[in-house]
Each structure stands twice: as structure tokens, then as C-alpha cells.
Chain A
């Protein structure tokens, strides 16, 4: 199961390394990681898509360990919150002049743009969700994809929605401890 986390971190040298090292050390697999500036110069924002084979249990572990890093300010799990997620891909496709129209029409279906044209290739720029980009890639594949690069996912919750903050002890931490079983103690 894939989870998407947003982490706000201090904009200092080495912080990306600390985060990446944590995932390696705790044996988690990062699917994608995008880092960039935010509206505050002292804060950077990371969007991480991580494989969580044990579901919420793993998500808890990831959040708790991220918080152990002194430079990590906030962590939210936005996997199941209403949010906008985007990935950007640049795809260089084989396209001799007589096939450009075909690429063009595929691109327009996906609201992608052709951003470079060479004698026998074009670069298509496409933005969207994972699925949309996967879809585009599948359709372009028969034409011959020569090169592809993707930014990795970035995410933002919609409106006043926030992600889940799972730290035990925090109010509204999304944890409900089921004490029903406790009633059954002898």
C-alpha cells in the first residue's frame, strides 16, 4: 500500500540526507520524493510516497521516526485526505515529421504540451496524477519512448482539510484505541 506524506523541514544543509537515511535505516522503500521551497524561506517541503506493507502501522512508524529528526517540523499523512496531487513528466518520443500529428492529438487528449520539436523526436510535457501520467506513457510507448523524466509526486490538501497527524498524545491524532476487548478481561 502506498502512502503519501508531506513533511515540512528546516531549510538547512544535509536535511534531505537525514530524511533519506532514516528511510534506509528503518527499511522503508521510497517510491518518490520531491523537495522544494515553500512560502517561508526557512522551511522546505517534502512530498514522499512510501510503500507501507503494514498499512497504518508503518505510517505511524514513519511519522514517529521523522519527528525524531530535529530538523523536521511537521508531518502529515495525506494518503486518504482530499488533496491535489501532481507529477510532471517530460517524455521524449520518436516522431518523424509524418507522425507528429498523431503525437499531437494524443497530447491534446491528456492536456499535455509539446515543448520541443527536433527532426525525428518531440518532447511531451505532461502534468497530472500518477494514473494520468501512466496512461499517457502507455499510449506513447508504441511510438517509441527515447527518454523520460518525472519529478515525483507533490501534494496539497484541499481547502481547510489537513492530513492525519498520527503522533500518539496529540489531540485528534486519528488514533482510536479500542477498549472493548478490555471489558472482556476476567
Chain B
């Protein structure tokens, strides 16, 4: 039967199991929006395409499925760009669909014509320009397959208006045939054997648990491997949740704002097992002095990550779940008591400095707030964050036991991510409690999506950590620019009134005593809620490894008498 290109597109989305798309209409995608009315897919009208992109990303991260965001040509597409780059940096499977001017107009600078495939070439896993209706079925099928397989990532489909309108025979491709695309599945046996030999020799091993563990669903395998070999597990920002924070082998977060004992463990280790992580500069510090005594095994699905930043002794290229599961029966049981004791020694020293052990001084600290939220929610909420100090404190103090509940922009550090990604996560899991933790700065970047939350009845709770500053930049200016504060002082609207104008219940909290009650109130109030916490203005995130410094050269929180 003949269908229009737009109908074929929706038909294919239905077959991919798409339940919800986040988008914004315009001239170049009107046929798509017209056809949409006949298909059982919920469309969320966002307030800015960037918000839609982050929603699709949040949906993807919370569900493990492919998210979908749409926009029109030209400015619609360019508004998506930040969201596309964010998904790319964090390997998030999102399919972006943009309208494009009619094929015969391409190259002529027609109204709202922008070279979107050109712009997004380096920030997508792959992209397509579709000029004919009969290409659509195959392209959509491929796009979803590429987005979710291997190392996931965003795929963009730019569909010319004529291709949306033209009619053609709908033939659904049963198979995806891609000549040049075969994600590696398993590491070869002889490489696994080499790994076993390295593990055998190690006295001070550490696992670096990255986002790849969650993406490949390798949490169980990791748990088996770590417990069998008694290897402590440090996490990257995006790896948090893959390994239960309460486990005795859990070291917590590594890197620039990682825990001191974790960074010390890495620097003093003799074997690093990097699982699905990419040695980002935020976790390695100075590469020249990084883990100098350690042999390095890198388990990774993307060969281009191997030797990219850190030269490793043994790459095991394959799907992490397969590789680690293959290793578990091959390794012996070990106990690294001496090593674990040493790490625990560093840990107790670090605990003394922890802000958690500060006596009440009447001020509101984000670290305390996050801890209170963790207690109130039993550690079980989906947490999204924006970018800045509050993000790091949330990573440090919302101890995660399970994966897919921690949604934050890591690689790209995109301010404005928190609220929209929470709305997206809600569509993935409507029964789950969801909190977006945002700074006063980042919240304002995508605050308009509050209305989207209202329109959709999205049950997301927003906690604004208002320090009246672009806090993270202020902290750098304090530490590295002699406290010359430049463009970090923020005048904000009255957030409670702002929420009120959106019809969102809201409260302002200024003391620690009010915190619990306010959190409970928010939890019991259906639909979106905003809590504005007036927090200590000039607190700093510790420990901190200054950019470019060695990982063990941490600035530590001053000890309080």
C-alpha cells in the first residue's frame, strides 16, 4: 500500500516501540506533524528544542531505550544542537528528526535552510539527509539500530519536505544491512588469558567503573568480578550507580571532585581495570603522573578510545558485559586485605574532613541538603542534575545503589540539562520518584520547560540550590584568579513566584530545620513542585584536583575545629 513519507516515518517509529517524542513544529516538518495525528505516539510540545533534546536524552538514560526528539529546519534544528552534542558526549541513544526544505531547494539558501547534516556531522554517531520518500523506512530502521547498538549515540535524520509528502510503497526492511558497521562483541581468548595473568600478579588492583558498565548492562558481572577478586571499585561521574555505593568494595567517585581515598587508591595501584570508561581529563588529572605504577587493562567497546588518552598495556575490545562475564570464571579468588586496609586508612582520614561531620552552624550547605534528600527518598529516586557545584555535591552525597537513576551531563557539562532531562525520565518511568537538582544559573537556562511539565502533568520535583552565584565558576575564580569575581554574580527572579506563575506549587527554604518537612511536602504534592533552597553562597566543592594537576594533588576541605 502506498503511504506518504511522513506516514512511513511514523509507521517505523511505532515499530521501533517509540511511545513518546519530544518536539516542536515548523514549516519544514508540517507534513510530519499532520501525519502524527493518526499514530499512537504521544507528542510532548516543548518550549525550546534544546529542552526537547534533553528530554529525549533523559528518557533514553532512564529507560535504556532510544529517545526521540524533533524539530523543524533551520533554527529548530540549530536549537537542538546543544542537546545533540550532550547526547554524543555521554553516548546516549537518541534519534533526532529534523525537517528540511524540499530537495530541489537545497543549496539555494531557501527560507530556514541550514546545513544540518553538516553542522551535526562531528556531534552525531551518524546522520542522514533524506531526499526521497522511498529512503525513509530503511533510514529510520538503520538510525535506531545505530543509535542503540555498540557504543550508543545520537543519530540525526534530516528529512526534506518533499520526501515527507511524496507517496511511495511502504516496505519495512526486516533486517538492517550495514557493510561497514559491526560493533565488536567479545574479546579474543588469548587477550583474556593475558588479562588473567596481569590480574594474578596484582597486589593493589582497582576497577574504574564507567558509564559503559551501565550501557552494556554489566552490573551483575562487575559485582561478581569485584567480589571474587576482592578488587575495589571506583566510579566515574557517569558510572555512579553501576556498583552499589554501600558495598564494602565501593570507593565512590574518582577524579577532579572525587573522594581523596579513591584518587589515592588509583595513584597507588599496581593494576587498573578500566571498565567502559575513557580516561577523560576530569578523571585522570595530569596524564604524565597518572597511576604511574599501574599496569592498565582497558575493557572498551569503542576501539578509538583505546590508547586515546592513556596508553594501556592490554585493551580488551568488546561488549563489556561479555568481556567481564568471560573473565569471571577464568580468574581465581583473591583477598587483597592489606591493600583494602590501606585504602580504608585513607578513607577514615578523609572522613574527618568531610562536611558531613561539621557541627550545625545555622547555614544551609548543599552537601547536607543532598544527604537529607537521600535519606528522605531512601536513596531510591531518579536524580537528574544541572551542571556546577550542586552537580558535584549531588554526585558525592546521593549514594546510589542502582543504575539508570543518575542522569547528569558528564562529558559536555551542559547547563540547562537538569529540568528537561527529569521530565524525559518521568516519561520513561512514571511511578518512580524523580528529583531534578539544579543551580540558580542552570535552572534559568531551561526554566521555560516548567510549563511543559505542567502541561504534561509530569511528576518531577525541582530543587534549586540557590547560592546567588554561578557557583562553580566562582569557585575557580576564588581558587585560581585571586578571588576576582567576574560575571558570576547572578540576580535571579523570585523562584517561588516564578513557579507560581506556572501554576507550580513552590516553597523557599532557608534553614536546615525546614528541610525535611519541605521535602516531604514536595513528595506528597502531586505533579511538578519547586523547592528553592537558599544555600551558603561561597561554599566550595572539595576535594578538588586543579585542572592539569596530578590526581593526588588535591585541595582538601580545611579541617574545622
Contact = CB atoms under 8 A, between A and B. Distances in A.
Given A61-B308, A168-B306, A169-B303, A186 B270 contact: yes
Nearest to A22: B122
A183 B129 CA distance: 53
Contacts of A42: 179
B315 interface: yes
A57 B314 contact: no
A25 interface: yes
Interface string A6-18: 0001100110011
Nearest to B179: A73
A64 B303 contact: yes
Contact of A168 (B129, B197, B271, B317): B317
B194 A177 contact: yes
Interface stretch (B69-77, B183-191, B218-226, B441-449): B183-191
B313 A177 contact: yes
B126 A70 contact: yes
B83 interface: no
B191 A169 contact: yes
A45 to B, nearest CB: 13
Contact of B295 (A10, A18, A68, A185): A185
B307 A60 contact: yes
A171 interface: yes
Contacts of A182: 197-198, 201, 295, 313
B132 to A, nearest CB: 12
B121 A70 contact: no
B556 interface: no
Contacts of B302: 64, 68
Which of B180, B181, B295 has the most chain A CB atoms closer than 10 A to its own CB?
Answer: B180
B121 A17 contact: yes
Nearest to A17: B121
A169 B304 contact: no
Given A60-B307, A182-B295, A73 B318 contact: no
Contacts of B117: 14
Nearest to B304: A64
A72 interface: yes
Nearest to A184: B201
B3 interface: no
A175 B401 CA distance: 39
Contacts of A61: 304, 307-308
Most B-side CB within 10 Å, residue of A18, A43, A169: A169
Contacts of B347: none
A169 B317 contact: yes
A18 B308 CA distance: 20
A137 interface: no
Contact of A167 (B118, B129, B303): B303
B36 to A, nearest CB: 28
A169 B318 contact: yes
Interface in B125-141: 125-126, 129
B437 interface: no
B317 A179 contact: no
Contacts of A71: 179-180
A21 interface: yes
B146 interface: yes
Given A14-B129, A60-B307, A169 B315 contact: yes
Contacts of A139: none
Task: With a 10 A CB-CB cut-off, give which of A21, A61, A185 has the most chain B CB atoms.
Answer: A185
Interface string A131-173: 0000000000000000000000000000000000001110100
A73 B270 contact: no
B178 A168 contact: no
Contact of A171 (B181, B188, B307): B188
B315 A185 contact: no
B203 interface: yes
Nearest to A75: B180
A186 B203 contact: yes
A59 B194 CA distance: 24
A70 B180 contact: yes
B355 interface: no
A9 B306 contact: no
B473 interface: no
Nearest to B118: A17
Contacts of A167: 184, 303, 317
Contacts of A69: 126, 180
Interface string B99-141: 0000000000000000001100110011001000000000000
B264 interface: no
A18 B306 contact: no
A65 interface: yes
Given A68-B304, A179-B198, A185-B270, A169 B179 contact: no
B307 A67 contact: no
B376 interface: no
B457 to A, nearest CB: 39
Contacts of B316: 168-169
Contacts of A171: 188
Interface of B: 117-118, 121-122, 125-126, 129, 146, 178-181, 184, 187-188, 191, 194, 197-198, 201-203, 270-271, 295, 302-304, 306-308, 311, 313-318
5 contacts: A13-B129, A168-B303, A177-B194, A177-B314, A185-B201
Given A18-B121, A169-B318, A182-B198, 4 more contacts: A25-B122, A64-B303, A68-B304, A70-B126
Interface of A: 9-10, 13-14, 17-18, 21, 25, 42-43, 57, 60-61, 64-65, 67-74, 167-169, 171, 177, 179, 181-183, 185-186
- The 10 closest A-B CB pairs, nearest first, are A169-B317, A64-B304, A73-B180, A64-B303, A168-B315, A185-B201, A70-B126, A168-B317, A72-B180, A65-B304
